[in-house]
Amino acid sequence: MNESCKKDSPQVQFIEIQDEYDGQRLDNFLVSRLKGVPKSHIYRIVRKGEVRVNKGRIKPDYRLQAGDSVRIPPLRLAEPADTAAPSDQTLARIQHSILYEDKGLLILNKPSGIAVHGGSGLSYGIIEALRALRPDAPFLELVHRLDRDTSGCLAIAKKRSVLRSLHELLRTGQVDKRYLALVKGRWRGKGRSVKLALSKNTLQSGERVVRVDAQGKAAESVFDPQNHYSEATLMAVKLLSGRTHQIRVHAAHSGHPLAGDDKYGDKEFNQAMRKLGLKRLFLHAHTLAFQLPETGQKINISAPLNPELQQFLTKLNPLV
């Protein structure tokens, strides 16, 4: 991007849109760029005509084109000191978790305990840490999301064209996502598909929960037992949809809640697993596979199960 002034200077900015941002909505572009400015204020300055594209008034849903000139009025952005930055240890941990990278895509083995993005009281997440690691990168955006306590394959687009392609593959079910999950009890029989529609609800406390609801959005998970233990079963789970908390809710509704799941799980089972050393949710995004339509390139990435989870499994009693 070419800019006529420094980002944090309260002066008019004229930004020339590069290829990486071609096709992005104006409002989303402004939200990602104007850190510290409330969304309500961003929409207000667009509505009042203070933000202009190619010298003309524009609507928030306008899709930017390469070569567009965007005028942004003087704004006082939040000072960097107002927001906690990722520690050097966290940045190094994320850097070492990268599994695959090319010109348009990055896939990492997301550590458990780190959210994919900041917000809701969190100063930063994976995407903010990556941008701190690579301040000169013109484009870094999440392709999909994982729960904060879930580890494993997480894809980051380095080009807007790649982001659009992968979103279309996700929408049409052309991304193969498989997880490893430890569930309560012994899973009887072979693998089976769980088809239960899900809906999001917000409790009075503000906590968001997902429930099985016939009027909700269709969701399907395929559970396939891998190893049986006296206390639990290690499952491979293939997602045929991508709803919030899908595996956790489907497993719990099937009578086999995930180990370490404080929201949908079994309290006594979680306590027993904790005594054996499990300190987190046992859910790991194990593999991610798809084919990029532009190049035909096939991507098939596997994130090894974290050493802490591998070690925990050795403490369980296997069944022959």
Mind telling me the catalytic residues?
147
Give residues with Cβ within 8 angstroms of 79, minimum separation 6: 8, 36
User: What is the signed CA dihedral for 164, 159, 119, 169, rounded to 10 degrees?
Assistant: 30
Q: Is 211 helix (H, G, I), strand (E, B) or coil?
A: strand
Q: Identify the helix (H) or strand (E) that includes residue 15.
A: strand 13-16
Of 72, 49, 290, 283, nearest in space to 167 by CA: 290
Helices (H) and strands (E) in the chain — how many of each?
8, 15
> What are the φ and ψ backbone dihedral angles of 27, each rounded to 5 degrees?
-65, -40
Q: Is 30 helix (H, G, I), strand (E, B) or coil?
A: helix
Q: Where are the alpha helices (DSSP H) in 134-281?
A: 160-171, 246-253, 267-275
Which residue's entry shows tokens 């994976």?
A: 126
181/174 Cα distance (integer angstroms): 22
Q: Evaluate whether 95 touches 133 at the Cβ level (below 8 Å).
A: yes
106/102 Cα distance (integer angstroms): 7
Angle at 106 between CA 101 and CA 110, to 5 degrees: 120
Q: Is 286 helix (H, G, I), strand (E, B) or coil?
A: strand
150 C-beta neighbours (distance < 10 Å), count = 24
Instruction: State the pairing for strand pair 283-291/151-157.
Output: parallel
